[in-house]
Amino acid sequence: MNILMIAIMVVFGVAAILTLVRIVRGPSILDRAVASDVLLTEVMCVLGAEMAINGHTRSIPVLLIIAAVGVFGSISVARYVARRDNTTP
């Protein structure tokens, strides 16, 4: 199982680095918001894979908190962009 965990970490590590590049480079706030959602999803997938490999469920509260942060973050960015679009002539 250690080989499987290493493979999972390498794949998700590369994906996380590429996602961080998108967060830094942007160019718009929507690109950054989508990239941050992808990064949170990657973290959740890694935690879920770790739970499946090791056969426990101790990380479920952490997964729920990460999911809530992602949803509330997406809602706040969407509201910000919608409000900004209404104020521009």
| pLDDT at residue 7 is higher than 80 | yes
pLDDT confidence tier of residue 89, bands split at 50, 70 and 90: low
| pLDDT at residue 79 is higher than 80 | yes
pLDDT confidence tier of residue 62, bands split at 50, 70 and 90: very high
Q: Percentage of the chain with pLDDT > 70?
A: 96
> What rounded mean pLDDT belongs to the chain?
88
Dump pLDDT digits (tens) for 17-52.
999 999 999 888 888 989 999 999 999 998 998 898
Buried residues in 42-65 as b, exposed as e (16+ CB within 10 A): bbbebbebebeeeeeeebeeebee
Q: pTM value?
A: 0.81
